[in-house]
Each structure stands twice: as C-alpha cells, then as structure tokens.
Chains A and B, each alone.
Chain A
C-alpha cells in the first residue's frame, strides 16, 4: 500500500534556503507532487516530478528524487515570508486517480 512520511515543522530565516523531505513506500509510484497550503485555503500545486527523473528545477523550487531510497525533497531558495505554509508531498501511480498524501510539513519563515 501507499504510505508517505514527512517531518512536521521547519523554521527558516527569510532569504535562507529551506529543504522539506518526504519518504514514500510504494515503489510503483509514478508521479510525485508538492502542494502548498496557506492558512484557511485549499492546496496549491507547486511542482511535480516523474519517477524517471532525478531532479527538476522551477524558479526558486528544486525537487530531488532518490528513487532507490524512495526519498523526495523540495528545496526553496531565497525563502520569503509568503512561503510560510504547510507543504504536502503526494504520490500517484500510473492509471490511478488517487493521491496518497504525506502528513505535511509546516514551514515558518522568520523575517
């Protein structure tokens, strides 16, 4: 079955980089996503990576995938106060409409 683990809390100073980690258990996961949730809002899709990729960069966001260790990370460069939110990783198998979410990681950016 699918099981996705995330660490819970990260505090970072404005301008520094922040790294959020996620591990998953389903080796057949094909698509891995990062979502951002600000207080009182829905989930905003930030970025995604296919399982045949090792890295994807999208402006300030860098996603690293270690498929052997089933480890996914999201690095946010030059973290801003607007990056304060909860970040969820999620995995999906090919042909499956369901997402398996991690528990989320709250990022607090200190000015």
Chain B
C-alpha cells in the first residue's frame, strides 16, 4: 500500500550527539512536512518542502535542519539535541497546490535524549 514510512520508530541519542530521522513516501506527493509533537500537545510544524523549495517556520530552532534529496525521501537532522528536543517527530506528505489536499502522516519516530 502507498504510505508514509518513518524510520526508526524509536531513537535514543545522547545529549549533544547529532541524530538523523528519516521519512520516505510512496504517494509521489510533492510536499513533505516535519512536525514535532510533545506529550498531550498538537503537532507543531517545523518546516516543509514544496518540491525542492524549503520553507522554514519562523520559530523553528537553528538546531533543526532538513534535507530532501529526491521526491521520496526527507530527513530531519538535529545537530546538537538537548533534553527539550525529546518528542515524537512526525513526517507528513500532501499534494501541493489548490484544492483539497489532505496531509498523510507516518507513524512517527519517538526520540529520547540521554
């Protein structure tokens, strides 16, 4: 089935040690999103790619970076994770443009910081 796949489901890293989370999609959608979700909160958009165009949210810390090497893959890099970065990270995709284009989410990667 076409879907959004996030790996790994659980990631543990050390304070300050760079970590990369990955997302792939078989939907051939041109927009890919990264969200951070902390416990009992709504997802918070970090940034998104519309094709190769990167769109950062104004309040996303510089510590968070993203790469999209091709349509199918998108990566979230956290350069120096702090304890406050422990969260669920959700990837989503959609078709861009006008009209009803709902976002489709992966199952997320839960990041823990030691």
Residues of A within 8 A of B (CB): 31, 33, 35, 40-45, 48, 50, 88, 94-95, 97-99, 101-104
Contacts and interface: CB of A to CB of B under 8 A. Distances in A.
Contacts, number: 53
Interface residues of B, number: 27
Nearest to B103: A99
Interface of B: 4, 6, 31, 40-43, 45, 48, 50, 55, 90, 92, 94, 96-98, 100-108, 110
Contact of B100 (A31, A98, A104): A31
Nearest to A4: B42
B94 A97 contact: yes
A97 B48 contact: yes
A50 B92 CA distance: 21
Given A94-B98, A97-B94, A45 B104 contact: yes
Contacts of B45: 98-99
A43 B94 CA distance: 13
Contacts of B31: 97
A102 B101 CA distance: 18
A41 B98 contact: no
